[in-house]
Structure 1
Amino acid sequence: MNLDRYIANSTERFAEVERAISAFDFAHGEQGQYQQLNREYQRLKQLLNFWQQYLKTQQDLRDNAELLDQTEDDAFKELIRADIAELEKQETRLDRDIKTLILPPHPNEGRDVIVEIRPAAGGDEAGLFAADLLRMYSRYAELRGWRQEVLDMTDTPLGGLKNASFTLRGEGAWSTMRFESGVHRVQRIPVTEAQGRIHTSTVTVAVLAEAEEVDFELKPDELRIDVYRSSGHGGQCVNTTDSAVRVTHLPTGMFVASQQEKSQHRNKEIAMRILRARLLEIEQSKEDAKNAAERKSQVGSGERSERIRTYNFPQNRVTDHRYDITLYDLSSIMEGNLDDLLGEIRAIEAGRQLAEELNI
Structure 2
Amino acid sequence: MAEVTKADIEAARSRLDEIEGYLHIDSRRKEIAELEEKSAQPGFWDDAEAASATMARLTRAKEDVAALEGARSRLGDAEAALELGLEMEDEALLGEAADALAALERDMGELELASWFTDELDHGDAIVTITPGQGGLEAQDWCEMLFHMYQRYCERRGWKVDVNDAPAAEVIGIDRATFTVSGKNAYGMLRAEAGVHRLVRISPTDAKKRRQTTFAGVEVLPVLPDDIEVEIEQSDLRIDVYHASGPGGQGVNTTDSAVRITHLPTGLVVTCQNERSQLQNKAAAMQILKSRLYEMERDRRESELEELRGPKHEISFGNQIRNYVLYPFQLVKDTRTGLECGNVDSVLKDGDLDAFVIAYHRWSCGEGES
Q: 2 CA distance for matches of 1:262 and 1:90?
A: 42
CA RMSD of aligned residues (A): 3.6
TM-aligned CA deviation for residue 309 of structure 1: 1.4
Q: 1 CA distance for matches of 2:308 and 2:189?
A: 19
Q: Deviations over 1:268-306 (max 9, x none)?
A: 3332122111112223444555565576x5563101211
TM-aligned CA deviation for residue 65 of structure 1: 4.2
TM-aligned CA deviation for residue 160 of structure 1: 0.5
- Residues 282 and 293, structure 1, Cα contact 8 Å, conserved in 2: no
- Residues 112 and 168, structure 1, Cα contact 8 Å, conserved in 2: yes
After TM superposition, the structure 1 = structure 2 runs for residues 1-360 of structure 1, keeping only pairs within 5 Å, are 2-7=18-23, 9-24=24-39, 26=43, 31-67=48-84, 69-72=86-89, 76-77=90-91, 79-103=92-116, 105-212=118-225, 214-227=227-240, 229-230=242-243, 244-259=258-273, 263-286=277-300, 288-289=302-303, 293=307, 300-314=313-327, 315-338=329-352, 340-342=354-356, 344-345=358-359, 348=362, 352=366
Q: State, as a whole percentage, how many aligned pairs show the same letter.
A: 27
If the length of structure 2 is used for normalisation, what is the TM-score? 0.79
If the length of structure 1 is used for normalisation, what is the TM-score? 0.81
Q: 2 CA distance for matches of 1:200 and 1:254?
A: 29
Q: Check 1:68–1:192 CA distance in 2 against 1; reply closer, same or farther (3 A cut).
A: same
TM-aligned CA deviation for residue 256 of structure 1: 2.2
Q: Check 1:102–1:14 CA distance in 2 against 1; reply closer, same or farther (3 A cut).
A: farther
Q: Check 1:56–1:23 CA distance in 2 against 1; reply closer, same or farther (3 A cut).
A: closer
Q: 2 CA distance for matches of 1:69 and 1:233?
A: 61
- Of 25-34 and 228-237, more deviation after overlay is shown by 228-237
Q: Check 1:232–1:104 CA distance in 2 against 1; reply closer, same or farther (3 A cut).
A: closer
TM-aligned CA deviation for residue 318 of structure 1: 1.7
Q: 1 CA distance for matches of 2:267 and 2:340?
A: 40
Q: Check 1:325–1:42 CA distance in 2 against 1; reply closer, same or farther (3 A cut).
A: farther
**SS of 1:121's equivalent?**
coil
Q: Check 1:238–1:93 CA distance in 2 against 1; reply closer, same or farther (3 A cut).
A: closer
Q: Which amino acid is 1:136 matched to? A: M
Q: Check 1:157–1:135 CA distance in 2 against 1; reply closer, same or farther (3 A cut).
A: same
**SS of 2:75's equivalent?**
helix
- Residues 229 and 244, structure 1, Cα contact 8 Å, conserved in 2: yes
- Residues 100 and 346, structure 1, Cα contact 8 Å, conserved in 2: no
**SS of 1:162's equivalent?**
coil
- Of 174-183 and 118-127, more deviation after overlay is shown by 174-183
TM-aligned CA deviation for residue 204 of structure 1: 0.7
Q: 1 CA distance for matches of 2:191 and 2:335?
A: 16
TM-aligned CA deviation for residue 49 of structure 1: 2.2
TM-aligned CA deviation for residue 87 of structure 1: 2.8
- Gap runs ≥5 in structure 1: none
Q: Check 1:121–1:51 CA distance in 2 against 1; reply closer, same or farther (3 A cut).
A: same
Q: Check 1:83–1:102 CA distance in 2 against 1; reply closer, same or farther (3 A cut).
A: same
Q: Deviations over 1:89-136 (max 9, x none)?
A: 223212211212334642213422211111101111111111111112
- Of 228-237 and 30-39, more deviation after overlay is shown by 228-237
Q: 2 CA distance for matches of 1:251 and 1:330?
A: 43
- Gap runs ≥5 in structure 2: 1-14
